[in-house]
Amino acid sequence: MKALVLAERSETARALAAGARLMADDVVLVAIASLQVEEGTADKIVRIALPDGAVYDDAADTVISVFDAERPGLVLVEPTRRMKMIAGKLAVHTGTSVITDVMEFGVEGAKSLYFGGIAERVQKPTGEVAIYTVTADAFVDAEPSGANVTEDFAWVVPAKPLDLISSKPLEKSGTDLFKADIIVAAGRGFAEKDELDLARKLCEKIGAGLGCSRPLTEGVNWLPTEAYIGVSGVMLAPKVYVGAGISGQMQHMVGCNRAGTIFAINKDKNAPIFKQCDYGIVGDLKTILPELVASL
Ligand SMILES: Cc1cc2nc3c(=O)[nH]c(=O)nc-3n(C[C@H](O)[C@H](O)[C@H](O)COP(=O)(O)OP(=O)(O)OC[C@H]3O[C@@H](n4cnc5c(N)ncnc54)[C@H](O)[C@@H]3O)c2cc1C
């Protein structure tokens, strides 16, 4: 069987290609735009260059053509917003559905979360093609391989291209959270945007990346979207996670509960996060964070 891998980031491309290697004989990675591909990632790399003025999302039609040319039985997709959209269009094209947010594969099928992360289910594909959006951590010990034979694929002009009205560089939260061993996550316990400096100081002190709960991005826009952790944000497995002013709702915790050690700071001793952490400090983050920074 052949597997197609769709990913936006090099590390995830490598991780998903490694997973695909466990499940298929041939692994083909689709590299859209300037995706860097490390040596030995896949048997074949199909490169799709974005023409001037085209937006990333318009690559869906070209990806569908790659699919038709390769005829894979398995498609593994990085669960980013743009890739999920492409996976959806591919599923419509193939007359199947996407099995989303897969966290691990077992003999019973693919395990994923639903109802915003409060329930788990195991699913098996029903059609000839299986399309999964899957977290890079699903294949921990797998190693990729392949000759990376590279082919440039001609751009397919979409029937309904998006109009690019304006663009601006994405504001980065600092450290790439996927690469961070330690993550400090800020929640709604931070009453003002300026208070985030307390978390930033702790990050500097312990070499951590700054993440957050969803309300700090989609609610108030204090941090960029890619910084929020959880079922609809990024799913991470750092060595250490420190949740400050975060209540510990399931939708957030599924994005960090595979951390090696979990610390929590919350002024409410009954906050759900205290049932999910290894170490907890009950107190006001405005007092605790400066004390921590001073004592470390
Ligand atoms: C379908 C769906 C998907 C979702 N996906 C996500 C997701 O991916 N990620 C995500 O994060 N959320 C997600 N959510 C939202 C999620 O349900 C919670 O609403 C959110 O995680 C709560 O964020 P929070 O813990 O920062 O805020 P709150 O729940 O408001 O908690 C704030 C905490 O801060 C504490 N606090 C207040 N002041 C202080 C202080 N001075 N010092 C110390 N502690 C203090 C409070 O005691 C409280 O526990 C989703 C929801 C739905 C319905």
Spatial CA neighbour of 121 closest among 130, 108, 134: 108
CB contact at 8 A, 261 and 278: yes
State the closest ligand 1 atom to the C-alpha of 271, by its place in the atom list counted from 1.
49
Q: Which residues pair with 263 in a beta bridge?
A: 242, 279
Pocket of ligand 1 contains residue 266 by CB under 6 Å:
yes
Which amino acid residue places its CA nearest to atom 50 of ligand 1? Answer: 251
Report CA-CA distances (Å) from 132 to 28, 139, 185: 15, 13, 28
Separation between Cα atoms, residue 46 and residue 274, nearest integer Å = 47
User: Cα of 241 to ligand 1 centre, how many Å?
Assistant: 15
Separation between Cα atoms, residue 123 and residue 114, nearest integer Å = 12
Q: What is the mean pLDDT of each run of 10 residues along the chain (296 residues)?
A: 96 95 97 96 98 92 98 95 94 94 90 76 92 88 95 95 84 76 97 96 96 93 90 87 96 90 98 97 98 96
What pairing do the DSSP bridges indicate for beta strands 182-186 and 98-106? unpaired
User: Cα of 140 to ligand 1 centre, how many Å?
Assistant: 29
Pocket of ligand 1 contains residue 217 by CB under 6 Å:
no
Q: Where in the chain is the domain with CATH 3.40.50.620?
A: 2-152
Matching CATH number, 182-295, of 1.10.760.10, 3.40.50.300, 3.40.50.1220, 3.90.1150.10: 3.40.50.1220
- pLDDT in the model for residue 240: 97
Q: Where in the chain is the domain with CATH 3.40.50.1220?
A: 182-295
Domain covering 2-152: architecture: 3-Layer(aba) Sandwich (3.40)
User: Cα of 240 to ligand 1 centre, how many Å?
Assistant: 19
Pocket of ligand 1 contains residue 230 by CB under 6 Å:
yes
- pLDDT in the model for residue 182: 97
Q: For a substitution probing ligand 1, which of 84, 103, 184, 188 has the most ligand atoms within 8 Å of its CB?
A: 188
Specify the pTM.
Answer: 0.77
Q: Which two tokens stand for residue 236?
A: 């991470």
